[in-house]
Amino acid sequence: MEGAPKGPPDILHRLDKADTRNGLKSIQPLADLGVPYAMLLYERFLGRPFAGHRDSVSELVGDVLESAIEGVLTGAKVSFRKTKRAERVAGFDQAPDFIVPDEFNPKIVIEAKITEDDGTARDKVTRVQHLGSLSMKGRRPSQAPRFEVVACIAGRGFKVRREDMKKLLLATRGKVFTLRNLDRLVASTKLSEFRVR
């Protein structure tokens, strides 16, 4: 609604286009008077490099969080199995990012999720909720889960909707960490039982 924020003259913001430059004020004249189709195509083309760049670095950004988790686990000498992208692991329809101690006897699973928008955040919360349900499969509500589900999150997408954060906290039984409090990951979860003394 607000449009492109003011910035340095040598930097082009992704919203600095004819139809979005001034938010709703930009759209109304174009809707009333029309706009050449070629101009809109050109504007969309200009916008694509932003999305292309975001797509190309999203895995690298995810690696920052996963590397931090690896560092914490390795530092505490916790035995873990880090799964690869799109890897198949028995017992999981979609493999979690980390399994402790291993996939043959999972006691803790860790999902590392980074998102910059609330739509993607909702999808990632649903993924963690599914792991929470999977941990209780074949169990009564009074029984302990088969494995503990831990979520490590980053990005502004998780800050947008409080309801999603509530779902995440319930699915993990409060085991949600950010880069800011990742130093408490081992001490605040069952990972402490796997720490080599």
Sheet holding 148-154, edge to edge: 81-82, 98-100, 108-114, 148-154, 176-177
The residue behind tokens 């860790």 is 110
CA 22/CA 36 separation, integer angstroms: 19
CA 188/CA 148 separation, integer angstroms: 12
- Backbone angles phi and psi of 177, in degrees to 5: -130, 155
pLDDT, residue 55, reads: 59
Mean pLDDT of 18-42: 75
pTM comes to 0.69
